[in-house]
Amino acid sequence: MRRFPINVLKPLGWLTLGLGIGCGGALVLQQWSSTSASVSKAPVERQRRPEAALTTELLLAGEPAMGSNDATLTIVEFSDFECSYCRRFHEQVLPSLKRTYIDTGHVRFIHKDLPLPFHRQAMPAAAAARCAGEQNRYWDLYGALFDQQTCLECKGVVAIAESINLDTSVLRACMRREATQTLIRSNLSEAELHNIRATPTFVIGPSRHDGTHHGNVVEGAMPWPQFKALIDQQLQAQKDR
**Domain annotation covers residue 99:** yes
**Domain annotation covers residue 211:** yes
Give pLDDT tens digits for 182-224.
999 999 999 999 999 999 999 999 999 999 999 999 999 999 9
> What is the per-residue pLDDT for 47?
53
CA dist 123 and 180 (Å) reads 11
- Under a CB-based contact definition with an 8 Å cutoff, are residues 218 and 201 in contact? yes
* Enclosing H/E stretch for 213: strand 212-213
Which CATH number belongs to the domain containing residue 136 in this structure?
3.40.30.10
CA dist 99 and 231 (Å) reads 14
Give pLDDT tens digits for 24-55.
343 322 222 333 333 334 443 445 667 888 98
Give pLDDT tens digits for 113-133.
999 999 999 999 999 999 999
**% helix / strand / coil in the chain, to the nearest 5?**
45, 15, 40
Range of the domain at 85: 58-240
Could you tell me whether strands 19-21 and 107-113 are parallel, antiparallel, or unpaired per DSSP bridges?
Answer: unpaired
Burial code (b: 16+ CB inside 10 Å, e: under 16) for 62-84 equals ebbbbbeeebbbbbbbbbbbbbe
The domain tally of the chain equals: 1
What SS3 state is found at 38?
A: coil
CA dist 228 and 101 (Å) reads 9
**Which 8-state DSSP code applies to residue 221?**
-
**Domain annotation covers residue 117:** yes
| pTM confidence score | 0.80
**Domain annotation covers residue 75:** yes
